[in-house]
Amino acid sequence: MSDDIVAEVAPATEPTVTTSPTQDSPATANGDTADASKKISPAELKKQKQAEKQAKRAQAKSSTSTPSQQQGPFKDGSKQQKDSKQTPKDDKSRPLPLRRRPSQTNAPAMKEQPEKKPKKEPKQAGLFFGHLYSQPKQQSLVGASKDVHPAVLALGLQYSSYAICGSTARMVAMLLVFKTVIEAYQTPPGNSLARHLTSHHLGPQIEFLKSCRPLSISMGNAIRWLKDIIIKIDPSTPENEAKRDLVEEIDIFIRERVTAADRLIRDLAATKIQPGDVVLTYAASSIVEETFLHAHKSGIPFTVIVVDSKPLFEGKQLARKLANDGLTVRYYLITGASHAVKDATKVFFGAHAMMSNGRLYSRVGTALVSMLANAHSLPVIVLCQSVKFTEKVALDSIVGNEVAPAEELLSEAERRDLLPLKSRLATAKNDDKSTLEDIPADTTDVLKWIEDAKNLHYLQVLYDVTPAEYINMVITEYGSLPPSSVPVVHRLSTNI
């Protein structure tokens, strides 16, 4: 975020020479600066530079203490972010840039921005979630760095298309691919593996994966662990040996932290299912599924309620699998959750992450279901490997979250239902009326309407945060704990 601050604030510092220093709208500031920079003489330029320096110094001091400036109007904020991202491209095409300092290069570029894409700018920035749109999601191989290993490219696309979904699955897939990446790695002459591998070879891979879909907490933990063992490799170890050791270590990590942990959690959680229980779960989690199947195989008679919702409908798969294995399953959408909860006796959740303040970060909708369960005083049990524990804390679902693109918000059928509304939309937009009439009705258009509409925002977040007081028990491979003990176990599992 720090570079965003600079980008946003720098133009405002310039007009200190010509106009008053209190510029509340960066857009107007840009206009002024562009004019001003043309007029001034070399002497004035010097003066201006000095003023700038002072302003910048003051800014550096205040930037940490005044988050309001940066957060203030979200629309402007993210617009600026966008602009700053585009500047490098525009900047290169300019014949003679006035100054090359990073704080100023974006000023001329910004002048042409407002006219160019005035419609798209305020979009996506709406509501409280503007900050989540700052990084556009990579959906193709275009623009990928040449350093990225083909296996990683494939994995990235699987991430962004949700072919590999779920925090554990993503982490395991990543580690397996990293094994190939490490095997294909050759230390360049004059470098040591321990120093070079992480920053120069793994770095771009991780960056690419991050651009496909934000890293999950478990992936972050696994990457931290991997970097840690790479840096600890003795530089005198022969390269082949070091690579073999790394691959082995990764296998052990997966075996200990995922496979064995899953088994322990599954066994422990299955003992919590009593004969006659009606266990409710939300969306899908591999470990919850394993637990149900294990309990079912050990002959405990119980039934399952799967509550599910948009956009991924993960619960459908789970319900299907459980039903195929002979369990009695009821499937509800989240709109019927209040009814589902009435019949349930226990609630099991999977987790994306457990925060250090005991809060659960999981598929959006989990908080709602857990609150309902709490209101009915049902025990809420979270199944979570300790690799998903994080030292981060979350107070709400807004600051840290992930947004899904619009096409995942509306299903194909829903888009088709919206098509008859096209005529109304066309009257609202006078300028390109004729073009709209020509194009045959296509479901993909619906998304364009949303995109073009000034007063319609779409928002599809993927996660939410469940407060600790709605969680009765967290089952990990270390045993069952209250949510308040998450930081203790996290410390324990990372310090060994």
**Binding residues for other proteins (CB under 8 A):** 272, 274-276, 346, 379, 381, 469, 472-473, 478-482, 484-485, 488-489, 492
Q: Is 413 exposed, middle or buried (0-12, 13-18, 19+ CB in 10 A)?
A: exposed
Task: Tell me how far apart the alpha carbons of residues 72 and 292 are, in angstroms, rounded to a whole number.
Answer: 48
Shortest Cβ distance from residue 278 to other proteins (Å)?
A: 10
Residue 75 amino acid letter: K
Q: CB nearer to other proteins: give 80 or 480.
A: 480
Q: CB nearer to other proteins: give 328 or 484.
A: 484
Q: CB nearer to other proteins: give 109 or 481.
A: 481
Q: CB nearer to other proteins: give 189 or 275.
A: 275
Task: Tell me how far apart the alpha carbons of residues 348 and 287 are, in angstroms, rounded to a whole number.
Answer: 10
Q: CB nearer to other proteins: give 171 or 288.
A: 288
Shortest Cβ distance from residue 143 to other proteins (Å)?
A: 47
Q: CB nearer to other proteins: give 319 or 481.
A: 481
Q: CB nearer to other proteins: give 118 or 479.
A: 479
Task: Tell me how far apart the alpha carbons of residues 400 and 362 are, in angstroms, rounded to a whole number.
Answer: 12
Shortest Cβ distance from residue 276 to other proteins (Å)?
A: 5
Contacts of 463 (CB under 8 A, 6+ apart): 352, 361, 362, 363, 364, 397, 401, 402
Q: What angle do CA 154, 159, 161 make, to 5 degrees?
A: 95
Q: CB nearer to other proteins: give 191 or 274.
A: 274
Shortest Cβ distance from residue 484 to other proteins (Å)?
A: 4
Cβ neighbour number for residue 298 with a 10 Å cutoff: 11
Shortest Cβ distance from residue 463 to other proteins (Å)?
A: 25
Shortest Cβ distance from residue 228 to other proteins (Å)?
A: 21
Shortest Cβ distance from residue 358 to other proteins (Å)?
A: 8
Shortest Cβ distance from residue 450 to other proteins (Å)?
A: 45
Shortest Cβ distance from residue 494 to other proteins (Å)?
A: 13
Shortest Cβ distance from residue 478 to other proteins (Å)?
A: 7
Q: CB nearer to other proteins: give 390 or 480.
A: 480
- Report the residue count for the chain: 496
Burial string for 37-61 (b: 16+ CB within 10 Å, else e) reads beeeeeeeeeebeebbeebbeebee
Q: CB nearer to other proteins: give 356 or 443.
A: 356
Q: CB nearer to other proteins: give 41 or 377.
A: 377
Shortest Cβ distance from residue 311 to other proteins (Å)?
A: 32
Contacts of 488 (CB under 8 A, 6+ apart): 481
Q: CB nearer to other proteins: give 116 or 491.
A: 491
Shortest Cβ distance from residue 223 to other proteins (Å)?
A: 25
